[in-house]
């Protein structure tokens, strides 16, 4: 009887973590001009598995078997416990692991894609597991002006983390269309959620938030592309930041730079890329290119924080390959790169709206990378 009760509770938890029902999402999605032929669509065609069997490493399942173990460090990943000032800075950023980051912008604080859970999966027992401890607890976070979410994949939208945020902070959420339904299904009141389509805006305090295009996909459970995926442009009276969310290479980065750029700070994913899915995740060189594109080709007044690596094993490349590749590519293009340890906070505010301090470079990953994990 106890075993049956435990199994029932596990099923309930799994269904809850998946989120909103497919019928509710479809009804919500139909309101958007970006929803066509029964699903949201990127502006360019986007395929999940692009490399046919027999090319490159062969079938993705075979490639994954050959690459097993590559995506894990051999040593302990160094983690810092972040400390935040009582008043948010003009421009600062704390990388908490994977895409989870806290941006301070003109006296406001924005938490991006918060994932504090142990696994990025609908199950608490299986799925990619965290490779380093959380730098802090959700309850330890400072007061938040808003939580921004890019899309509904488990490594960007984590139901246990939302539950913790509701217990400790009860923040306002700004999300792409459809993700609001997941939050509502988890008990977040509608009045604390703002859902936007691409290029729609909202204002939090003195900061204008713009929902920007990305080339990706969405889905939890067996339902795909019924919620929108996006990046976020944050523009205050003195500074601006850009969070790309998840994206493959797209000409929309140039459009974003022209229309709502440039930016003092960008947070762009560099990990979980593969030849088998080249259209849904940027590789590190493409991330540097995206940083240049959203800054209109001139990144002399901007700094790039690479995210979406180190915390979860989600692809077939070596664990430290993304940051090493990003560092080489950034040097080739004179792009200033931030390389904090998980939990590391970097203050970037200068005297003017586009002046940032030269960040230091700490190759902390070398101490915990496998010997074979080479350039």
| pLDDT (mean) for 100-113 | 98
Q: Look at residue 221 in the predicted model and tell me its pLDDT.
A: 80
Q: What is the pLDDT of residue 8?
A: 53
Q: What is the CATH number of the domain that holds 351?
A: 3.60.15.10
- Inside any domain, residue 166: yes
Pairwise pLDDT comparison (45 vs 206), residue with the higher score: 206
Range of the domain at 235: 15-42+76-368
> Which pLDDT does position 61 carry in this prediction?
52
Distance from C-alpha of 298 to C-alpha of 276, rounded to nearest angstrom: 31
- How high is the pLDDT of residue 223? 87
In percent, how much of the chain has pLDDT > 90?
A: 78
The pLDDT tens digits for 302-314 are 999 999 999 999 9
- The residue that leads in pLDDT, 156 or 12, is 156
Residue 257 phi, psi dihedral angles, 5° rounding: -60, -40
pLDDT at 123: 87
What is the predicted pLDDT for the residue at 38? 94
Confidence of residue 9 (pLDDT cuts 50, 70, 90): low
- Read off the tokens for 324: 């090493």
Count of C-beta atoms within a 10 Å radius of residue 299: 22
The answer to whether position 61 is within a domain reads no
The whole-number pLDDT of residue 62 equals 45
| Mean pLDDT, residues 54-82 taken together | 71
Residue 6 lies in a domain: no
Q: Helices 284-294 and 321-332 sit at what angle, rounded to 10 degrees?
A: 40
pLDDT in tens, 135-160: 999 999 999 999 999 999 999 999 99
Residue 67 lies in a domain: no
- Domain count within the chain: 1
Asked, for residue 374, whether it belongs to a domain, the answer is no
Q: What stretch of H or E contains 241?
A: strand 240-243
Of 61-65, 106-110, 287-291, 309-313, give the lowest mean pLDDT range: 61-65
- Does residue 260 belong to any structural domain of this protein? yes
Asked whether residue 240 carries a pLDDT value surpassing 70, the answer given is yes
Do 310 and 274 contact (CB within 8 A), yes or no? no
> Has residue 7 been placed in a domain?
no
Give counts: helices (H), strands (E), the chain: 8, 18
Residue-wise pLDDT for 328-349, tens only, equals 999 999 999 999 999 999 999 8
**Statement: residue 244 has pLDDT above 60:** yes
Mean pLDDT of the chain: 90
Residue 9 domain-assigned?
Answer: no
């Amino acid at each position: 009887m106890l075993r049956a009760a435990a199994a029932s509770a596990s099923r309930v938890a799994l269904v809850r973590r998946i989120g909103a029902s497919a019928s509710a999402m479809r009804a919500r999605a139909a309101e958007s001009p970006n929803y066509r032929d029964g699903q949201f669509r990127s502006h360019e065609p986007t395929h999940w598995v692009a490399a046919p069997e027999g090319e490159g490493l062969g079938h993705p399942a075979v490639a994954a078997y050959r690459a097993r173990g590559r995506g894990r460090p051999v040593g302990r990943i160094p983690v810092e416990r972040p400390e935040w000032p009582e008043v948010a800075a003009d421009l600062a950023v704390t990388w908490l692991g994977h895409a989870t980051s806290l941006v301070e912008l003109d006296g406001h604080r924005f938490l991006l894609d918060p994932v504090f859970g142990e696994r990025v999966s609908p199950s608490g027992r299986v799925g990619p597991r965290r490779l380093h401890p959380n730098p802090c607890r959700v309850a330890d976070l400072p007061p938040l002006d808003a939580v921004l979410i890019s899309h509904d994949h488990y490594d960007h939208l984590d139901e246990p983390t939302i539950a913790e945020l509701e217990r400790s902070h009860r923040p306002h959420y700004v999300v792409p269309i459809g993700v609001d339904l997941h939050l509502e299904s988890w008990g977040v009141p509608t009045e604390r959620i703002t859902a936007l389509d691409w290029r729609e805006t909202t204002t939090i305090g003195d900061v204008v938030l713009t929902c920007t295009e990305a080339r990706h996909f969405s889905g939890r459970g067996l339902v795909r592309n019924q919620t929108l995926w996006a990046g976020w442009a944050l523009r205050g009276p003195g500074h601006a930041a850009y969070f790309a969310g998840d994206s493959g290479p797209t000409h929309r980065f140039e459009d974003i730079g022209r229309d709502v750029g440039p930016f003092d700070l960008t947070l762009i994913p560099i990990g979980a890329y593969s030849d088998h899915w080249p259209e849904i995740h940027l590789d590190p060189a493409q991330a540097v290119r995206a940083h240049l594109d959203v800054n209109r080709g001139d990144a002399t007044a901007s700094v790039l924080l690479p995210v979406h690596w180190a915390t979860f094993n989600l692809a077939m490349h070596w664990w430290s390959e993304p940051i090493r590749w990003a560092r080489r590519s950034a040097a080739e293009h004179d792009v200033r790169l931030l390389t904090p340890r998980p939990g590391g906070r970097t203050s970037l505010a200068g005297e003017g709206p586009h002046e940032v301090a030269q960040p230091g470079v700490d190759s902390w990953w070398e101490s915990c990378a496998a010997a074979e994990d080479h350039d």
